Amino acid sequence: MITADNGLTRCEKNVINGLLATMLLASCTLWGCGQRGDATRVFVASSMTDFIEELIAVDGQNGSANATDVNIAGSGTLLLQINEGARADVVILAGAEYMEELNRTGDFHPPTEFAMTKLSIVIAPDLKDKDLTVRDLWSGKFQGAMCVLSAPCGQLASQYAASQNLDMADLSLEPNVRAVLAKIERGEVDFGFVYHTDLLSSTAGVAEVQGSGASKFSTSYSFAVSNNLKHSAQAQSLTNAITGEVGQRILEELGFNQP
């Protein structure tokens, strides 16, 4: 079962409540809702959504997916939930610093890094045929979006902006990278900062701004396993699948790089 909680602070949750309701309804329709006490709880960074769905579908052939609950959100949100007492058996986060923060709790085994992706600036479908540059996007005619700074994609976007002397004050702030991508796909914003792998996952006709230099900024993905597992065999099956041939094949197909 896969559920989503894309909120950050209580204030931000109230602001995006309508969006969350829509996303949760879609999630419930596909996967069912509620949490099972006997299930392995897997917390997953939102940019790994496609990967975890495909991996569990394959790993489900041995029955483990039937006992897995997946919680998808931004890495900062997942850490907040864990710090507030949420149980997580396996945690997959973007950004080394987020995993380091998780590791400092002492509740998880040392992390394993398994993938990387790069930053990308993406434009909406109705602009894909225009030869737009980064400077064009900052001309005042276009509306952009980025992740909040508590998400790794937001931090990368901020670092990129600093390197290019770009003012990000007018960009819409979204809870995670998939929320940014969704706004671009629907044409609610003209451009936004996502990961290259999110661009590859889109079927809406979005396009990448060429020559932006955004690809110089990358993030890594790691997983960590709880010290207090109730169902160690299920968690081990999942982590073996991540680092094994199947998981690595899925990552390659989705455009992720080796760390």
Bridge partner residues of 92 (DSSP): 44, 223
φ/ψ of 206, rounded to 5, equals -70, 165
What does the pLDDT read at residue 35?
53
Beta pairing class for 191-195 and 144-147: parallel
> 194 Cβ partners below 8 Å, 6+ apart?
119, 120, 122, 153, 177, 180, 181, 184
What does the pLDDT read at residue 122?
98
Largest CA-CA distance found in the chain, in angstroms, rounded: 55
> 165 Cβ partners below 8 Å, 6+ apart?
none
Model-wide pTM > 0.85: no
How big is the chain by its Cα radius of gyration, in Å? 18
What does the pLDDT read at residue 8?
38
Helices (H) and strands (E) in the chain, counts: 11, 10
Q: Under a CB-based contact definition with an 8 Å cutoff, are residues 108 and 168 in contact?
A: no
Q: What 3-state class would DSSP assign to 96? A: helix
> 103 Cβ partners below 8 Å, 6+ apart?
110, 111, 224
Positions in the chain whose pLDDT score sits under 70: 1-37, 60-66
What does the pLDDT read at residue 58?
83
Q: Under a CB-based contact definition with an 8 Å cutoff, are residues 208 and 121 in contact?
A: yes
What is the sign of the dihedral through the CA atoms of 109, 115, 116 and 117? negative
Q: Alpha-carbon distance 145 to 183, whole Å?
A: 8
What does the pLDDT read at residue 1?
55
Per DSSP, helices labelled H in 112-208 are 134-137, 152-164, 177-185, 196-201
CA atoms in the 13 A half-sphere facing the CB of 55: 28
Q: What is the mean pLDDT of the chain?
A: 86
What does the pLDDT read at residue 32?
35
Nearest to 122 by CA among 182, 51, 46: 182
Bridge partner residues of 200 (DSSP): none
Q: Alpha-carbon distance 121 to 152, whole Å?
A: 15
Nearest to 111 by CA among 243, 204, 248, 231: 243
Structure tokens at 13: 């949750």
Q: Alpha-carbon distance 23 to 4, whole Å?
A: 7
What does the pLDDT read at residue 231?
75
User: In this predicted model, what pLDDT tens digit does every residue of 106-155 receive, in sequence order?
Assistant: 999 999 999 999 999 999 999 999 999 999 999 989 999 999 999 999 99
Q: Under a CB-based contact definition with an 8 Å cutoff, are residues 174 and 143 in contact?
A: no
